[in-house]
């Protein structure tokens, strides 16, 4: 199966981007593809419960799926004081980690404003 790396930088206010990434991720994962979603910048707010929702509805139920992974820029989380407030099942990452994911996956899609 193929793998997909999705990058989301947009804040929850631009929910159409988060919903697009979420719909693509769910569809690909349902077909058996490995999907990694990396959020950074204001996109990290999509993984914080109680801050305008947790990204698209239903995202929390998918953080423990075997072929769907969530990672976030740890530096951006620290900048915004959001340590220990993100969804369970997400993992901290650095810029180097994100670069390695780009190389590891078959396709990459980046959504930014």
Q: What per-residue confidence (pLDDT) applies to 64?
A: 63
Model confidence, pTM: 0.88
> HSE on the CB side for 32, CA within 13 Å?
1
Domain ranges for the chain, please list them.
3-111
At 36, which helix (H) or strand (E)?
Answer: strand 34-39
In this prediction, residue 112 has a pLDDT band, given cuts at 50, 70 and 90, of: confident
The answer to whether domain 3-111 has CATH 3.40.1260.10 is: yes
- Spatial neighbors of 84 by CB under 8 A, at least 6 apart, are none
CA separation for the pair 4, 107 (Å, rounded): 5
Q: What per-residue confidence (pLDDT) applies to 61?
A: 60
CA separation for the pair 100, 4 (Å, rounded): 13
* SS3 label, residue 70: strand
In this prediction, residue 19 has a pLDDT band, given cuts at 50, 70 and 90, of: confident
CA separation for the pair 22, 7 (Å, rounded): 11
In this prediction, residue 57 has a pLDDT band, given cuts at 50, 70 and 90, of: low
């Amino acid at each position: 199966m193929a793998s997909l790396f999705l990058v989301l930088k947009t804040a929850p206010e631009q929910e159409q981007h988060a919903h697009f990434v979420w719909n693509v991720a769910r569809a690909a994962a349902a077909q058996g593809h490995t999907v990694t979603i990396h959020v950074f910048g204001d996109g990290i707010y999509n993984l914080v419960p109680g801050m305008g929702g947790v990204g698209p509805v239903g995202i929390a139920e998918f953080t423990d799926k075997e072929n769907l992974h969530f990672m976030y820029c740890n530096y951006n989380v620290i900048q915004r004081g959001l340590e220990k407030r993100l969804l369970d099942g997400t993992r901290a990452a650095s810029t180097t980690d994100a670069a390695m994911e780009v190389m590891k996956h078959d396709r990459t899609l980046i959504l930014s404003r």
